[in-house]
Chains A and B, each alone.
Chain A
Amino acid sequence: MSAVTGLPRTVLRLHRTALIVWAAFVLAAVAGLVWLNEITADSARASGSDWAWLDYSEPMGWVSTAMYYSFWAVAAWAGSALIGRELESGTARLAWTQGLSPTRWLAAKLALPALVLVLAGAVFVPVYRWAWSANRDLMGDNWDFGDVFAARGPAVVAYGLCALAVGALAAIVLRRSLPALGVAVAVMISLNVYLEQHREEFWPTVTRTSATEIELPNSASQIENGVLVHGQRNTSVDYWSCDGTAAEMKRCTDDLGITGYWSTFHPQSHFWPMNLVETGILLTITALATAAAFWTLRHRTGAARKESAV
């Protein structure tokens, strides 16, 4: 344990390029958010042009999109440069014969990037939350947009941590850089697509029924809606074809047997529980992948025997 000061220094020295690139990316994102809200937002309002708000909202979208999908880069890097390349070229063996056990090597290799990802999230997420709510009148998005949803909470960090662990596991199992990169990125993309599709199911929705048509607030994330036909929910009655004056409308809907309306949605207050549930799922996968990576490495290098023998 006495090498604890020298070991992080070594890991940082080996991966300083990645660290510099990542730091530059996060700082550019944060600086961009500050600039957009302090400078661009005001000038967009002042210009009077109909489309000036796009000067603000488009780059805002790029920032959250780039940060959201940065886990692709993390997965690729963890699978190749961090672990895969070391196992492929044999430099891992160099480290393991320089007084560093494979377990400690992997622990250091994962802990430092994890710390960097958490620190980046601790800086980015609060700034983004402020930036996203500062000029809502210029934005056309909603809290349930994929990138916005993740970037306004810890989920964006959890995606990075999960990508790190999945990349490391792929590299340790495959022991080659390029295949590990491919597998890690593919797994993370599939996981992300799955979670995006099922996000709304991970927390109970709110259903509202009413005798009149339901006007949800703009911030609500609507999942399903329809009409009540003789008290039964129905999504197939095309009541929107009813047209004309209020009396004509009434007659038309009566003919269809419509007695009311219902809507299922997530109100904006569901953001935190939904974001935390997704974070929890991702961190569980992170923990499992990390455990599997350590187990595989220990099994392969005989470190497991050492424990039982000592």
Chain B
Amino acid sequence: MTDTAIEADALAKRFGRLGRATWALRDCSFRLPAGRVCAVVGPNGAGKSTLLALAAGLTAPTGGTVTVLGTTPGAARARVGFVAQDKPLYPQLSIAETLRMGADLNPGHWDAAAAQRVVAGGDLDPKKRIRSLSGGQRTRVALALALGKRPELLLMDEPMADLDPLARHELMGVLMAQAAEHGTTIVMSSHVVAELEDSCDHLLLIGEGRVRLAGEIDELLEGHARVSAPAQSDLSPHTVIESRTTGRQVSALVRPVGTLRADWQGGTPSLEELVLSYLRNPEAPALTPAKSEEFSA
């Protein structure tokens, strides 16, 4: 066992041939401790899916390294569950055959009951072919496959996108129970921040292929403040993430350095406010715990 679920060091991934190449990820470094429920957020095309695919050992990085459960993604394969964004399944198989495939490919650590429960929650006929299922039903089967394997780390790319609110609530409950019971580390990407706020305790904000924010959500929120001050106030030495002047007031989101002036009205931002401020201001300095200093000790 290791206490680190994922550790990325200068991870980079480039797509396309030379000349027209685009960087999906660049100089991406972070550390996710084990046992966390981590939200990976960022705009479309930020590199979330690429990061998850690299961690799942589905594609090779162009540069840097990613360590998963203390080893390479390829070696950790048996202990990692993955649900891809488009929920690929074999259309010619029935639901029952799909689950049997999970059992066949994961000998020794397949939890048939857990997989069965996820499918049963959706009232699905096990004899039904995958090709006849709706998007939400496919998501359910894909989650059943990933959970049945009893992973130590579960990576999910936009897992809830196709689900109706009831199913979303139910399956989120299943996932949280899994995390609580077995200490499973869960990493899920989404661009709907509200969806993640209640269930996640760790955040990874990715923008333009780089890590913008990484850390425990509580600490990140405490490390930032909303301030309302008279216009022309000098906000230094605090790090300004975003500021907007309306009339004689300037409202800003800052990363305080030392204490804030008492007469500035402040408050802790919500997760959504924090995320949006960083996304709206690509120039804002990133906040990622420098792993070499903080964690090597």
Contact = CB atoms under 8 A, between A and B. Distances in A.
B144 to A, nearest CB: 12
B92 A91 contact: no
Interface string A5-37: 111011001100100000000000000000000
Interface string B38-79: 000000000000000100111111000000000111110110
Interface in B265-296: none
Nearest to A89: B88
Contact of A6 (B53, B60, B82, B103): B103
B59 A101 contact: no
B133 interface: no
A273 interface: no
Interface in A81-121: 89-91, 93-101
Interface stretch (A146-154, A214-222, A301-309): A301-309
Nearest to A1: B107
Question: Chain B binding site: helix, strand, loop or mixed by DSSP?
Answer: loop
A6 B58 contact: no
A169 B201 CA distance: 44
A98 B146 CA distance: 8
Interface residues of A, number: 32
B155 to A, nearest CB: 8
A96 B89 CA distance: 12
A3 B57 CA distance: 19
B105 A99 contact: yes
Contact of B74 (A9, A17, A95, A303): A303
B145 interface: yes
Nearest to B145: A98
A46 interface: no
Contact of A101 (B74, B80, B142): B74
B104 A6 contact: yes
A158 B73 CA distance: 37
Given A3-B104, A10-B104, A90 B72 contact: no
Given A98-B101, A302-B57, A90 B77 contact: no
A287 B141 CA distance: 38
Given A3-B105, A6-B104, A94-B145, A99 B88 contact: no
A301 B59 contact: yes
A302 B75 contact: no
Contacts of B78: 99
Contacts of B93: 13-14
Interface in A254-310: 299-306, 309-310
Interface of B: 53, 56-61, 71-75, 77-78, 80-82, 84, 86, 88-90, 92-93, 97, 100-108, 142, 145-146, 149
Given A91-B88, A309-B72, 11 more contacts: A3-B106, A89-B88, A93-B88, A94-B89, A96-B57, A98-B105, A100-B77, A304-B60, A309-B71, A309-B75, A310-B75
13 contacts: A6-B105, A7-B104, A13-B97, A91-B90, A93-B58, A94-B90, A95-B105, A97-B84, A99-B149, A100-B77, A306-B72, A306-B73, A306-B75
